[in-house]
Amino acid sequence: MSTTGKVGGERVYHGRIISVDLDEVRFPDGSVGKLEMIRHPGASAVVPLLGDPSEDPEVLLIRQYRYAAEGYLYEIPAGRLDPGETPATCARRELQEETGYTAERVEQLFTMFTTPGFTDETIHLFVATGLVAGEAHREADEFMELVPTRLSVALDMIRQGQIQDAKTALALLYTAAFRMRSA
């Protein structure tokens, strides 16, 4: 069998957030084909917990307008990595910018691929505790409101289809299933 991976290609678009490449790829069976790939620098997202994590803490959810979703979504704070920025620094920055809160502790949960069928974007998921209120510094195109929600209620919102953002649902479920047991 031949080695898999990129054997050629070209960049067809470069924008502020993403780039699009038309890659020539060798597949596991040795054949070669073309794939459109969206390139993204990666992001971090954080589950901010208020209160005792061993109880039913509040999660600082955000209700944010998303053009692609044609409306508002419930999300956890998240954002794109700046050049040279570590995922943990990005998580702390996004928490402060979007909610106004800072955290005593930010611990990584895991890293996920968002949609590996067409993008290389990964999101590094974190949990933040020991929160201290402050002032938010949102970007001009961020339309959001802070919605503190008990973790148990947020889990019901996932079950009822009210939380439709994948990173948020997965991070909350992971936190409830694995982090809360060890708290």
* Residues labelled as active-site residues: 142
Closest CA to 127 of 23, 57, 27: 57
Half-sphere exposure of 35 (CA within 13 A, CB side): 16
Residue 136 makes CB contacts below 8 A (sequence gap 6+) with 96, 97, 98, 99, 100, 146
Q: Is the separation of the CB atoms in 87 and 55 below 8 Å?
A: no
Report the Cα–Cα distance between both ends of the chain, in Å, rounded: 47
